């Protein structure tokens, strides 16, 4: 259920199958809140009969449970999830930095735009934490970086360019270099604050 390489997942599943062992890959999304509340999204790859047998276990942990395809499909779907998460995080950071450097109240800007087309989970959940100067982790920067490396490896395997993910990964490098690897992923804003010499958050 961890996020790992789709390629390695398929190799492990094949090795287990040779020994008569069935495997599902079932990474999750929803953060610590989803885990605590049992409302995780679970992305599953593997045999449908095995999935149906294990469904009660998944239902104890999550509410959005999807069998995507064969082994590795769950992991690839999770990497797609991490693309959307990280790029939305970057978009949010850029929006909040423009607000801050334009001398606007960052929380008021979040309130104004989060209900429209600009709305996202990141803006509604991480935006207010940035405005309050709260960088406690739901999902840590170094774990996001691990996932983005997996995204870039998977993209390389199929010769796909993902420039936005590459940029997000580089900005998270700045955050890690600043000693914030174990902070929440909202700490991405710190990379923007460093280059703007301006904070988007409470002191």
Give the separation between CA 115 and CA 106, rounded to whole angstroms.
Answer: 15
Give per-residue pLDDT as tens, 139-187: 999 999 999 999 999 999 999 999 999 999 999 999 999 999 999 999 9
pLDDT of residue 203: 58
- Given 7, 78, 108, 190, which residue is catalytic? 78
- The phi-psi region of residue 197 (left if phi > 0; otherwise alpha if psi is between -120 and 50; otherwise beta) is left
**CA torsion, points 83, 85, 86, 92, in degrees to nearest 10?**
140
Contact 103, 202 (CB under 8 A): no
Catalytic residue list contains 7 = no
Neighbours of 190 (CB within 10 A): 22
Longest distance between any two alpha carbons in the chain, whole Å: 63
Give per-residue pLDDT as tens, 5-52: 999 999 999 999 999 999 999 999 988 889 999 999 999 999 999 999
Give per-residue pLDDT as tens, 85-103: 999 999 999 999 999 999 9
């Amino acid at each position: 259920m961890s996020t790992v390489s789709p390629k390695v997942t398929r190799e492990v599943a094949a090795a287990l199958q040779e020994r008569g062992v069935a495997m599902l890959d079932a990474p999750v999304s929803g953060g610590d809140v989803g885990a605590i509340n049992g409302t995780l999204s679970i992305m599953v790859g593997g045999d449908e009969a095995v999935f149906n047998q294990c469904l009660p276990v998944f239902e104890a942990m999550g509410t959005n449970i999807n069998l995507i395809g064969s082994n590795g499909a769950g992991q690839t779907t999770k990497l797609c999830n991490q693309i959307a998460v990280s790029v939305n995080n970057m978009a949010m950071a850029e929006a909040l930095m423009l607000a801050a450097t334009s001398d606007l109240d960052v929380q008021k800007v979040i309130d104004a735009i989060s209900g429209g087309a600009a709305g996202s989970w990141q803006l509604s959940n991480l935006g207010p934490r940035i405005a309050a100067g709260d960088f406690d982790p739901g999902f840590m920067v170094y774990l996001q970086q691990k996932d983005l490396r997996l995204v870039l490896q998977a993209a390389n395997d199929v010769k796909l360019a993902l420039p936005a993910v590459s940029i997000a990964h580089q900005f998270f490098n700045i955050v890690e270099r600043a000693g914030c690897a174990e902070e929440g992923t909202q700490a991405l804003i710190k990379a923007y604050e460093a280059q703007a010499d301006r904070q988007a958050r409470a002191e």
